[in-house]
Amino acid sequence: MLTRPKRYLGIRSEDRRTIQPREYGLLVITGLALLVLIARLWYLQVLHGEELTARAELVRTRLIRIPPPRGLIVDRQGRTLATNRAQIVISVLPDQLRRNPRRIPLVADRLKISPDELRVLVMNPRINPYVPLVVRKGVAYAEAVDLLESQYNLPEVEVSLQAMRWYPYGKLFAHVVGYVGQISEEELKAYQAMASREWPETDGESPLAIRSLYDGTDLVGKGGLEREYERYLHGMPGGEQVEVTPLGKRVRTLQQLEPVPGARLVLSLDAKLQQRAYELLQGHVGALVALDPRTGEVLACVSQPAFDPNLFVPRIPASIWRSLLNDPRAPLNNRAIQSAYAPGSIFKPFVALAGLETGVLTTHSSIVCPGGYQSGRRFFRCWRRHGYVEFYNSIALSCDTFYYIAAQKLGPERLAHWSRVFGLGALTGIDLPHERKGLVPDPEWKRQTFKQPWFGGETLSYGIGQGYLLTTPLQMAVATMGIANRGVIYRPHLVRQIIAPDGRVLYTAKPEVIHRVQAAPAHWDAVIEGMVRVVERGTARRAQIAGVQVAGKTGSAEFRKGGKTHSWFIAFAPAENPRVVLCVIAEEAGHGSEVAVPIAAEWLKTFFQQPETSSATPAF
């Protein structure tokens, strides 16, 4: 009879078998693995659950630094010279492009920039890869809309409105105000050492983060006042804690600390006077510097040719940078403070004063100029045969022969001494970077430099502002201030006041005497009278202005064999109680009377047509 087989736990009796020792081992190992897994879950969820939850939250949040708005720069009347203007900008997310570098060529093509340039920017180790990096500014509205419509295919790209540095006057103040650009590695290290600050505590929690005053994506002053006053203009950064998607897109802001804008610089410059100087120098290579002799304030400071500082924000295209560097006229050079020239005949009033003070000249000194001076075997030419020349006309007619003889009597050491007491051969201390100090030579300098003795002919050249003597236009304006003020020389300065965002005055400039030239009142009178005659009956008659007595001196400085000369003119007006000191140079422009004098005359007319402004600093 057929019977149903017996079952045990659903297993037929014939299927049952004995578990082998090896299988026991596998069961034990499996059990231990389960125990370890359970222990790990207990560790993660019970023992350290809160800590790990917090870590997970950090993965979804980021601390974003908010750059501060840069401080404004205004002229003495409050006209804005440097500000921040909202522009449409295109930014990329460096982190995403670093994780997927194969997309760099595609993104670069859409953004109309070089793939190599984009690669360098996003791979820069100094930047925060989680912060959008601006790659283009001033984008047209239509292009911005097109990119926004394509954003699904360009997750690495952001289009936004940002405040970017803007220079409303373009080239006009380029060399003085300067410009900003992307911070370099060296600058970042230097500025980071200046300061840092902490985020404030919120609801008893720890500070959000410690934020550096500077970041690798910052724009900083690269030249001019933007560089000199960087620590005031920069401001204090803020920050925000934001929630982001895994792709880095912002979801919401959790906490925010507003940045503090930079301070405002109020300058001594007058935009109208600067504009006139710029126009008058158009087509020339040269500089114009105007000072208030009562304070040392700089009223105008122009160097030609110039450049547009807006090209540098946020970074200048490589092709434009190369063209500026390779331009033989050197537009990046501030000729007012960085170019040193032989002063030529504008040096003669200083030789005249030295002669009077040392006794080698008197106001009754006279010579007969035959068209030059014989010294040894060499005949040193005068620019014309003047005949009888006395002291005052030696300045008015710019007789070289008179000053060959005066220099020979003075000697190189005394010529050097009297050059230095007027500040030549030294920095003026103007509040601009990269000022050049020029050169005041003497026999010891020549021995050290050339291992040669000083020759007599070099002394004669010295007396007419030629040879080794080199001065900047600013130095000559400052030295002329010394004559205008009868010995008192103030430090030239551009910033009148620095004002904090809350209205507090952080700094107010005060006149600072840097030199006091000691000379007899009668000797000052004589030199000034000679300079008045230059304008009234001498080489600068084109500088006459109705109702204003102008004192001046022309110069034609040779700088190359073959007769090429720079055109110089120094002046102050009125001759009594002067309100302005002026220095003009035009390179390779011929005689001072031909180019520099007409430029100075037109500028002085503009100056005296304006209502006189107080030397006191205005409140804004």
Cβ atoms 523, 357 nearer than 8 A: yes
Q: What angle do CA 66, 70, 71 make, to 5 degrees?
A: 140
Cβ atoms 331, 338 nearer than 8 A: no
Cβ atoms 488, 513 nearer than 8 A: yes
Token duo for residue 350: 């200083």
345 flagged as catalytic = yes
261 DSSP assignment: P
Token duo for residue 399: 């007789």
Token duo for residue 341: 């020239």
Closest to 595 (Cα-Cα) out of 544, 546, 540, 550: 540
CA dist 214 and 224 (Å) reads 20
CA dist 327 and 311 (Å) reads 16
Residues forming a β-bridge with 73: 82, 265
Could you write out the three-class secondary structure of 427-472? Answer: CCCCCCCCCCCCECCCHHHHHHHHCCCCCHHHHHHHHCCCCCCEEC
**ω into 574 cis (within 30 of 0):** yes
Cβ atoms 580, 607 nearer than 8 A: yes
Cβ atoms 535, 572 nearer than 8 A: no
CA dist 53 and 341 (Å) reads 71
Cβ atoms 180, 225 nearer than 8 A: no
444 Cβ partners below 8 Å, 6+ apart?
A: none
Alpha helical stretches, state H, 359-422: 391-396, 400-410, 412-421
Token duo for residue 205: 């929690």
Question: Hey, what amino acid is at 166?
Answer: W
Cβ atoms 580, 604 nearer than 8 A: yes
> What is the longest distance spanned by two Cα atoms in the chain?
163
**Residue 63: how many CB atoms within 10 A of its CB?**
19
CA dist 70 and 267 (Å) reads 16
Which of 345, 394, 398, 593 is labelled catalytic? 345
Q: What are phi and psi of 288, to 5 degrees?
A: -135, 130
CA dist 438 and 258 (Å) reads 47
Cβ atoms 371, 503 nearer than 8 A: no
* Residue with tokens 């410009």, as numbered in its chain: 179
Closest to 233 (Cα-Cα) out of 223, 224, 220: 220
3-state SS, residue 514: strand
* Residue with tokens 């404030």, as numbered in its chain: 200
550 DSSP assignment: -
Pairing of the two strands 238-244 and 61-66: antiparallel
**Residue 311: how many CB atoms within 10 A of its CB?**
17
CA dist 361 and 368 (Å) reads 15
Catalytic residues, by residue number, are 345
